[in-house]
């Protein structure tokens, strides 16, 4: 899909061993596949079906998303930071698109 922009809020730095809050938001219609269009035919399902967050290549959080989840899914989770590195966020779309963004974090 076009015009999909992932947004992420990660602290710029943390102390080693800190548990930090990560907030993510992506604009996406999350069409459930259960609605009918004006012509009476079902609107095909198109949702983000999987979200993954990696830190330095290792998965720290991942979840499957289901059709009942509302548009523009917002996910908030925590992660423990022991070293400086890069968080990589990946959203997978039903149509095969993959939306990605990265955030660096430093250690104080």
Q: Looking at 34, 62, 74, 78, which residue binds another protein (CB under 8 A)? A: 74
User: Rounded to the nearest whole angstrom, what is the least distance from the CB of residue 35 to another protein in the complex?
Assistant: 13
List 25, 65, 69, 107, residue binding another protein (CB under 8 A): 25
Smallest separation (angstroms) from another protein to the CB of 1: 15
**Comparing C-alpha atoms, which of 59, 74, 82 is closest to residue 23?**
74
Residues at the interface with another protein (CB under 8 A): 5, 7, 9, 23, 25, 27, 70-72, 74
């Amino acid at each position: 899909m076009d015009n999909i922009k992932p947004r992420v809020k990660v602290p710029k730095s943390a102390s080693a061993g800190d548990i930090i809050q990560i907030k993510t938001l992506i604009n996406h219609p999350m069409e459930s596949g259960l609605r009918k269009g004006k012509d009476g035919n079902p609107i095909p399902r198109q949702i983000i079906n999987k979200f993954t967050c990696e830190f330095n290549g290792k998965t720290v959080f991942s979840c499957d998303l289901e059709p009942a989840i509302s548009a523009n899914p917002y996910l908030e989770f925590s992660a423990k930071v022991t070293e400086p590195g890069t968080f990589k966020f990946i959203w997978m779309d039903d149509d095969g698109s993959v939306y990605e963004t990265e955030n660096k974090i430093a250690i104080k």
